[in-house]
Amino acid sequence: MIKALTSLLLVFAINGLGFNAQAHGFKAGDLTINHPYATPSLKGSKTGAAYIRSIKNNGKQADQLISARTTVAESVELHQMQMDGDVMKMRPVSAIDLPANAELRMMHGTPDGYHLMLMNLKQPLKDGDRFQLWLQFKNSGERQVMVYVQTPKSGTPAHHH
């Protein structure tokens, strides 16, 4: 019985990975950074948005994402989505909390969700592109990750300032 349960869990795990064949991940100290991605930029737009499927803090100490930079944009801002009546707005935040032993999801289309705003893009972001992003964590230091540009299968693909 236990054996059957184990293989069932394994199947789930494999399916979980199969959810996106292009999934990729990175480690920084106690942090696991799962699948950084960006949506294609809108035509004529100088801003882009990057997301991270999840950042898992496996450690016993809280950490924070405090800044980011990239080669494809002049600067990167940490933003949080917020409902203002019926209108979805976003505001810059100075840090994103990563509590101990917890997983933060940073996916598009999440109410109150966070994203990385790419300010003054040097080039449009096109489906299939990849670019480098450096994430600066308070305790875990800086980690370079690869961002996959992809059109989301669901949710709102883009947003305006």
Q: How far is the CB of 127 from Cu ion (least distance, A)?
A: 20
Beta bridge partners of 51: 37
Of the candidate residues 35, 79, 108, 143, the single one contacting Cu ion (CB under 5 A):
79
The nearer residue to Cu ion, 9 or 93, going by C-beta atoms, is: 93
Of the candidate residues 31, 33, 117, 125, the single one contacting Cu ion (CB under 5 A):
117
Which residues ranging from 24 to 53 are in contact with Cu ion (CB under 5 A)? none
Q: How far is the CB of 62 from Cu ion (least distance, A)?
A: 24
Q: Tell me how far apart the alpha carbons of residues 144 and 122 are, in angstroms, rounded to a whole number.
A: 19
Q: Give the end-to-end CA distance of the chain in Å, rounded to a whole number.
A: 54
Which residues ranging from 84 to 103 are in contact with Cu ion (CB under 5 A)? 90
DSSP for 17-68, written as a single string: HHT-TT--EEEETTEEEEEEEEPPPPTT-S-EEEEEEEEEE-SSS-EEEEEE
Considering the rule CB under 5 A, would residue 55 count as an interface residue with Cu ion? no
> Would you say 32 and 86 are in contact if contact means Cβ atoms under 8 Å apart?
no
The nearer residue to Cu ion, 73 or 90, going by C-beta atoms, is: 90
Considering the rule CB under 5 A, would residue 125 count as an interface residue with Cu ion? no
Considering the rule CB under 5 A, would residue 143 count as an interface residue with Cu ion? no
Counting Cα atoms < 13 Å in the Cβ hemisphere of 79 gives 26
Q: Tell me how far apart the alpha carbons of residues 132 and 118 are, in angstroms, rounded to a whole number.
A: 12
Q: How far is the CB of 90 from Cu ion (least distance, A)?
A: 4
Which segment (32-40, 78-86, 120-128, 147-155) binds Cu ion by CB under 5 A?
78-86
The residues binding Cu ion (CB under 5 A) are 79, 90, 117
